[in-house]
Each structure stands twice: as structure tokens, then as C-alpha cells.
Amino acid sequence: MFGHSVKLFDLFGFEIKIDASWLLIAALIVWSLSSGYFPQVLPDLTTTAYLALSVVAMLGLFASLILHELAHSLVARRYGLGIGGITLFLFGGVAELVEEPRDAASEFWIAIAGPAMSFLLSGLFGLAALAFGGVGLVGIVLAYLATINLVLAVFNLIPAFPLDGGRVLRAWLWRRSGNVLEATRKASGAGTVLAIGLMALGLFSALSGGGIGGAWLVLIGFFVLNASRGAYQRLMVQESLKGRRVAELMTADPWTASPEMTLADVADRIMLAHAVSFVPVVAGGVAVGYVDAQLMRAIPREEWPAQTVADVMAPLDDACVVPPRMTAEEALKLLAEGPHRKLIVAEGRQLRGVLSLRDLMGHIRVVQALGRGASPR
């Protein structure tokens, strides 16, 4: 999800990471506070003092976001879910769940934990600010952190996926209907409405002279829109493949080549004759490699009659050979993240079939056509 994140430290067994995009929001916060907020509430200080206060407030927000996501993570771990880490990025923070919650109850408690932490922090910062009389350097910074945590909690409770409130809504719909996909669809729909509203408000603000504030609302709207739709699509794929094994979705008994065949024979008698671009190589009943259109193109066409499959075939490795019992979800992840776009299905080295992304997507499309994400099983 995050391509430029850097690990900072471990907290309660979770990796705390920061994405490069967080530096932008951190700089904007410091600039906004030092040039606007603190000069208004604490006049007559030096520029250096305003800058120092702004950095302290930004770090307080940084810690607050980590604690917000830590609350999600601790509850998720309590329910046996894996957490890939906590990452701060352009639009805040995220606890990276390795898997989706298994039931509505765990979804609810995981979702509500973050806003509950933010409300708690708001109260604690507020009490601390009162202890300082709400004035002075320390009191003003504490009051700011109390306010920003309250805003964070309230905003996250908006019932629009993927915000925490949207996850609470999904948990409620899931509990009522028993259908997580339908619940996600409705919660994502609310997220889409919120996203469009934010983008419209931001555009209006920008055209009315709102400047960076309007542009920021548009960016947040785009983020919410992509996140809500992406979450629904991922869950739809997951539900469509649930319970399926590679053996059920692969192309069984594929066309194969022998090591001694020439590339011209492979092209004419297999690839062109049967409209396939990926051909496993079998010797003595055992899969030993493969040739595909990409490998063929790397060899000048005039050399195809003299070149044999053994000369150019790619050897098999663990990234391209999978067992028939592997789940379809695992195979999809391997295809999406690995170097290969087709997988050889084998038991030991006995060829059983070939699985491609097209096989998986074809199954998903059929399941969706039969009923929104409803698996035949």
C-alpha cells in the first residue's frame, strides 16, 4: 500500500512506520500553526517561538494518530487478526490489517477503538489544559491537541466507509443481514456520497478563494472515494474466490512442448494452432520449465527453426509452481505480487494444469453475474 514507508520503532509488537507523504502534511501543519493559529492566540512571540510551538503541536498530533491506530491494532490482535504495522501517511494513519474481521462483533470493536482512544486523548489533553488555566504556551498547545483529537474522533465517526464510522455502520448492517458483502456495498455507498460531497465542497471553496483548504478537501474526497470503492472490490474478489482451490479453476491438461522441439514447431503447432501464449515443457512426464511469447520474441524469428525449446525455456521455480490444493486467494496474491502471470499447477513435478489471472477473473465475473458476490458454494 505504501511504497516509501520507513520503520521508526516498534510499539507493543507493532512496527510504526512513516510514509514519505507524511512529511508533506507535517510541513503543512507546522506552517499553518506557525503563521496563523499561534500568532492569533499568542501574540507578540518571536517567529522562532511560533515555529517551536508548531513543531511540538505537530509531534503531539503525530503521537495522537499513532495511539488512535494502536487502539485499532490492539483490539484486532485480541480477535486474532494479523497487523502488518501502523503507517502514518498523507491523510493520517492506518493500521494495516492482514485480513478482514471474521464477524460483525470484531469489526465493530476494532472500528470503535480508534475514535474511543481519540475521545480519551481529547479529554486528557483538555484536563491538562485546564490545569494550566488554558493559557500560556503549554496550556494553548494542550488545548489545541484536545481540540484536534476531538475533531479526529468526530470526523472518523462519520458513517461512511472506510472511516471508522463507516466500519461501525458495516458491522451493524452485517449483523442485521448476515451478508458482509452487501453490508460493505452499502457502507461503501455512503463513503462515495461523502467523497463526492467533500470534493464538491472543496471545489466550491477553491473557486471562492478558499485556496489550499479547498484543494485539501478535494484530495481527501478522492482518497475516501478510492478507498471505499477499492475495499468493496477487494472484498468482492475475496468472497468470489472463497472456498475455491486452484484445481477447480485451472486449465487442466494444457498443451505442452518437449525440450527437443524447435521454436518454429512450438509457434506453429501449439501457440498459433491452439491460441495459447504459455506452454509448459514436459520431459519424461515431468514438468521441467516453460516457454511463452515473451521468450519467443527475444529470439530472432529466422533462428526459430534451429533453436530448440531446451535452449531457451525458463526453468521452474517456487514462484511459478503451485499445488492443486492451494486456495484461489493465495494463487491470486501470488500472481498479483510475483514475477509470473501464469502458474504451473503440479503435484511434485507431475503437471496438472496451468492457472492464469484470466482464469481467476473469469470465475469472479461469472460469480458476480449469477449474484452479487454470491459463491455457488
Cβ partners under 8 Å of residue 83, min gap 6 = 14, 73, 76, 77, 95, 96, 97, 98
Give the strand pairing for 83-89 and 321-322. Answer: unpaired
Alpha-carbon span 93 to 152, nearest angstrom:
11
Indicate the helix (H) or strand (E) that contains 261.
none
Q: Looking at residue 325, what is its pLDDT? A: 94
The arithmetic mean of pLDDT across residues 15-37, rounded, is 87
Beta-carbon count within 10 A of 17 CB: 21
Q: Which of 69, 96, 107, 239 is catalytic?
A: 69
Least confident window among 84-88, 127-131, 203-207, 268-272: 203-207
pLDDT of residue 136 exceeding 50, the answer is yes
Instruction: Quickly name the fold that domain 246-370 has.
Output: CBS-domain (3.10.580)
Closest CA to 345 of 219, 268, 267, 251: 251
What are the structural domain ranges in the chain?
Answer: 5-157, 180-241, 246-370
The arithmetic mean of pLDDT across residues 9-23, rounded, is 87
Respond yes or no: is residue 107 known to be catalytic.
no
Cβ–Cβ < 8 Å for 346, 289:
no
pTM check: above 0.75? no
